[in-house]
A and B are shown apart, each in its own frame.
Chain A
């Protein structure tokens, strides 16, 4: 199973197994990793599962769909490595992915 690493804003790191097909958001929620709220439950409607993708991983991800960038306008302190984790579907290629969590989601 692919391993995904979530680094909280305070630096605390969590590496967990996330099954293929789940989103990076679901991986965090199912493993009780704090810092991802996911208020809308994965509908790309709230921007509270915002993460910063580690630079070396950013270009390996599927491109943003229409609407994700618009939602990121609403996110708390977005930067150029920002993604909504509900839109990142885990595959074997993402084994080792590292995402950092913002100081808060809203």
Chain B
């Protein structure tokens, strides 16, 4: 079990700056994020898009902003738990016990949810029956490619993931590649490779088709795919892979007993605390009258939530407001010389 003064959920810009604020006032913290990398939406959705409204930064990309925030955290030793999703939260006396999907357990008086629009989850197939086969015959990511050896695999999608796996698996499996339109959006070289493999009979290509029905008994036997013109084809297949990118979902946080309004969490504007004492929400995921979904608002919200954390983490101490320009203790924490 990991004991910490504050647990931050979400390693996007708001979560990162909130970590900075906590460390600055002498609290420790740990960060959990469901993505495999730091940066949240800035990295996952728009790493190359320029942002023009970060105070004192005339222009930067999502990736540059993330790197700068990581640099700002360099003086501090902060543990990031990536590719982990928070699942359960339980009140134990003055603390919250938080469990992740990988079994990590945190004990902390403060949880700061900086979850953006939710955690990134793979987009799934439309037919309801697909759920029954998930992680058995239907996958949205690949952990062990050896299971496909000698089998028929039907891959859906038109981006790099779908194309890369179609090429990769075609050496040892019978591969069907199914996409909703004629054009693919992957790397040019990969697209050419797919067409070569199609000519060589290694990949069966079905364009303008989408998944309609899955059939099987415990394990998958066949699927029906439907053309834009409504024509149906049945394909025998052992496995189905879907690569439709990621979607943001509130996930397990939705069942934590927090006041939720349209996928956002209601907070006060003094501490950015939710209706549960010691659980805060900052950044895009919180709502209050006048809320602006801007990165700069997230920074402000995180700074205030961090001060609120102090009270619960150090009940016997009094928080003293200090400036980074003059405080000796802050400079010590930053590892810079004081004058």
Contacts and interface: CB of A to CB of B under 8 A. Distances in A.
Contacts of B75: none
A43 B45 contact: yes
Contacts of A80: 228
B117 A39 contact: yes
Given A73-B185, A74-B244, A46 B45 contact: yes
Contacts of A37: 263
Contacts of B180: 73, 78
A10 to B, nearest CB: 17
Nearest to B44: A45
Contact of A73 (B158, B249, B293): B158
A14 B183 CA distance: 35
- Chain A CB within 10 A, most for which of B49, B117, B210: B117
A106 B123 contact: yes
Contact-residue size bin, chain A (C-beta under 8 Å from the other chain): 10 to 19
B74 interface: no
Contact of A74 (B123, B228, B249): B123
B163 to A, nearest CB: 12
B248 A41 contact: no
A32 B19 CA distance: 35
A104 B187 CA distance: 30
Nearest to A70: B185
Interface string B115-150: 001000001001000000000000000000000000
B101 to A, nearest CB: 20
B248 A73 contact: no
Contacts of B185: 69-70, 73
B46 interface: yes
B183 A69 contact: yes
Interface in B270-294: 293
Contacts of B249: 106
- Chain A CB within 10 A, most for which of B49, B179, B245, B263: B245
A48 B228 contact: no
Contact of A45 (B46, B157, B179): B46
A91 to B, nearest CB: 26
Contact-residue size bin, chain B (C-beta under 8 Å from the other chain): 20 to 34
B181 interface: yes
Classify the secondary structure of B's interface with A: loop
Interface string B243-280: 01101110000000000000100000000000000000
Contact of B245 (A39, A43, A74, A78): A74
A31 interface: no
Interface in A47-74: 47-48, 69-70, 73-74
B209 to A, nearest CB: 12
Contacts of B179: 73
A42 B123 CA distance: 19
A40 interface: yes
Contact of B210 (A41, A47, A74, A77): A77
Contacts of B245: 47, 73-74
A65 B244 CA distance: 20
Contacts of A106: 123, 247, 249
Given A45-B45, A73-B157, A74-B244, 7 more contacts: A40-B41, A40-B117, A43-B49, A46-B248, A73-B185, A74-B123, A106-B123
A73 B159 contact: yes
Interface in B186-225: 210
A13 interface: no
A77 B263 CA distance: 22
A99 to B, nearest CB: 19
Contacts of B157: 73
A39 B248 contact: yes
Nearest to A104: B126
Interface in A62-106: 69-70, 73-74, 76-80, 106
A106 B251 CA distance: 13
A23 to B, nearest CB: 16
B181 A40 contact: no
5 tightest Cβ-Cβ pairs between the two chains A and B: A106-B247, A45-B45, A70-B185, A74-B245, A39-B117
